[in-house]
């Protein structure tokens, strides 16, 4: 199980924008970069020339199919923002760490940014939380249960689960159900 990161670890590990960009690319495109304009996977990285009059931005990618340039921030809450990505990462962590979110004033004090910047970031993060797939999270009292789906276990006593598929479900009281196939019904696997 992965170690849970606190704000101190996050600030130490991801203190440079380049490391955060690599993290965001890995999270957004686990199978490699994909063009946000035409969904092509034929992408190459543009390397900025240091002696050029107009060196390209760091993390700049280009699509071979539509020939458009983009970075990992295109079509995200970070697009068009001049705020460093490591500040965004810490702000998102703070929003997730506090049960009821965090105010723009508190964000401004903790991250050492202006109140106007903190207000802008808070609104963007709140907007992202309301979008799918996060908006589809279950609310209120949620119950969990597992079952086994498949044919009868002929001649077996007990649960007879050898040839059955385990399915785990989360049930919102008086509401929606989310189910998915799991490898085993052991607690450590279901918690993940």
Q: Output phi, psi for 147, to 5 deg.
A: -145, 175
Q: How confident is the model at residue 185 (pLDDT cuts 50, 70, 90)?
A: confident
> What pLDDT, on the 0 to 100 scale, is given for residue 1?
41
> What pLDDT, on the 0 to 100 scale, is given for residue 117?
96
Mean pLDDT score across all residues of the chain = 84
Higher model confidence: residue 157 or residue 66?
A: 66
Asked if 83 contacts 116 with a C-beta cutoff of 8 angstroms, the reply is no
Q: How confident is the model at residue 153 (pLDDT cuts 50, 70, 90)?
A: low
3-state SS class at 136? helix
Higher model confidence: residue 140 or residue 162?
A: 140
**Percent of the chain residues past pLDDT 90, beyond the cut:** 45
Higher model confidence: residue 8 or residue 72?
A: 72
Residue-wise pLDDT tens digits, 102-121: 899 999 999 999 999 999 99
Q: Alpha carbon of 93 to those of 27, 78, 155: distances in Å?
A: 15, 15, 52
> What pLDDT, on the 0 to 100 scale, is given for residue 143?
81
Residue-wise pLDDT tens digits, 50-87: 777 776 778 899 999 999 999 999 999 999 999 999 99
Residue-wise pLDDT tens digits, 19-58: 999 999 999 999 999 999 999 999 999 887 777 777 677 8
Does this model's pTM top 0.75? no
> What pLDDT, on the 0 to 100 scale, is given for residue 30?
93
Residues 6+ apart with CB under 8 A from 7: 90, 93, 94, 97
How many residues does the structure list for the chain? 192
> What pLDDT, on the 0 to 100 scale, is given for residue 154?
59
Query: What is the mean pLDDT of the segment spanning 123-143?
Result: 81
């Amino acid at each position: 199980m992965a170690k849970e990161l606190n704000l101190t670890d996050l600030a130490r590990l991801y203190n440079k924008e380049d490391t955060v960009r690599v993290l965001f690319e890995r999270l957004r495109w686990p199978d490699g970069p994909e063009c946000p304009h035409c969904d092509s996977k034929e992408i190459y990285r543009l390397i900025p020339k240091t002696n050029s009059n107009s060196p390209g931005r760091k993390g700049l990618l280009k699509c071979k199919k539509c020939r458009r340039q983009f970075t990992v921030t295109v079509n995200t809450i970070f697009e068009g923002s001049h705020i460093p990505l490591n500040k965004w990462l810490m702000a998102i962590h703070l929003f997730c760490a506090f049960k009821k979110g965090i105010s723009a004033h508190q964000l401004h004090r903790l991250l050492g940014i202006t109140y106007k910047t903190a207000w802008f970031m808070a609104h963007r993060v709140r907007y992202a939380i309301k979008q799918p797939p996060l908006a589809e999270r279950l609310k209120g009292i949620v119950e969990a249960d597992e079952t086994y789906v498949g044919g009868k276990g002929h001649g077996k006593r007990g649960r007879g689960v050898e040839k059955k598929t385990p399915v785990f479900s989360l049930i919102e009281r008086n509401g929606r159900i989310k189910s998915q196939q799991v490898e085993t019904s052991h607690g450590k696997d279901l918690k993940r």
